[in-house]
Amino acid sequence: MFTDHDSIYHRFFSHPKVVVDLLKNFLEPAILSELDLSQMQRLNTKFTAATGQRRRADVVWEIPVCGGLSLFLLLILEFQSEIDEWMVLRLDVYTGLLYQQLVAERRLKPIDGLPPILPIVLYNGEPRWNAATSLRDLIRLPTGSPLWKYQPDMRYYVIDEGRFPEADLKGRQSLVAIFFRIGHPDHPGSIVETGRDLVT
């Protein structure tokens, strides 16, 4: 069940222009340069697990990769207000279910391979995000074990809203940065100042 806060986030980040703003201002430039944001499309994010249970990732976007490649990047945003120590495992499951959905819909052919997936966790809680960002960090195996080459290697990208100083956010010409400032004011007067910036 979603809270009102979750609902606000979902509505806000359901708009393509907002997602473009987020990526342009908070994604690594090297990754951003690979994406053709002008052609991105939102996808149905309801997946059916093997048990028949419906699973839902928060928002999934299909983004063509620049350079004329026939690959698409599927972007998963997870909105969290608390640290989930098992987030990387959840995203590994979501990724598998997403691939299964694409295969079931006959959008993929074996000859084409699988499209890349970039999982992004957008975190708005306290304290700062410190959960493992690599699935291998959670797997208990001694260094040098021959079993490592058979272990999954899922990783995700974190945007921790509270990590950015207000001065940093104020310097960005970004609606998403203003949204972050509203959620993490430095002092009570910050909200009034942020409101003025939003109007102007």
pLDDT digits (tens, 9 = 90+) for 63-120: 988 766 655 777 777 667 788 999 999 899 988 988 888 888 887 778 778 888 899 9
**Of 16 and 55, the one with more pLDDT:** 16
**Eight-state DSSP code of residue 50:** T
Percentage helix, strand, coil for the chain under 3-state DSSP, each rounded to 5? 40, 20, 40
- Between 60 and 145, the more confident residue is 145
Whether 157 contacts 131, CB under 8 Å: no
Across residues 56-60, what is the average pLDDT?
Answer: 67
- Cα-based distances in Å from 45 to 52, 57, 133: 15, 6, 22
Determine the pLDDT at residue 10: 76
Tell me the two tokens of residue 35.
């994406």
* Separation of alpha carbons 91 and 94, rounded Å: 5
**Predicted confidence (pLDDT) at residue 181 exceeds the cutoff of 60:** yes
pLDDT in tens, 115-172: 888 999 988 888 899 999 999 999 999 999 999 999 999 999 999 998 999 889 988 8
φ/ψ (deg, to 5) at 5: -65, -45
User: Confidence band (pLDDT; 50, 70, 90) for 1?
Assistant: very low
Q: Domain spans of the chain?
A: 4-163, 165-200
Q: Are 155 and 117 in contact (CB under 8 A)?
A: no
What confidence category does residue 62 fall into, taking pLDDT thresholds of 50, 70 and 90? Answer: confident
**Residue 92 to residue 138: CA distance in whole angstroms:** 13
Q: How confident is the model at residue 124, as a pLDDT?
A: 84
Neighbours of 193 (CB within 10 A): 15
Whether 198 has a pLDDT exceeding 70, the answer reads no
Max intra-chain CA distance, the chain:
59
Judged by average pLDDT, the poorest of 8-17, 51-60, 64-73, 79-88 is 51-60
Contact in structure between 40 and 69 (CB atoms under 8 Å): no
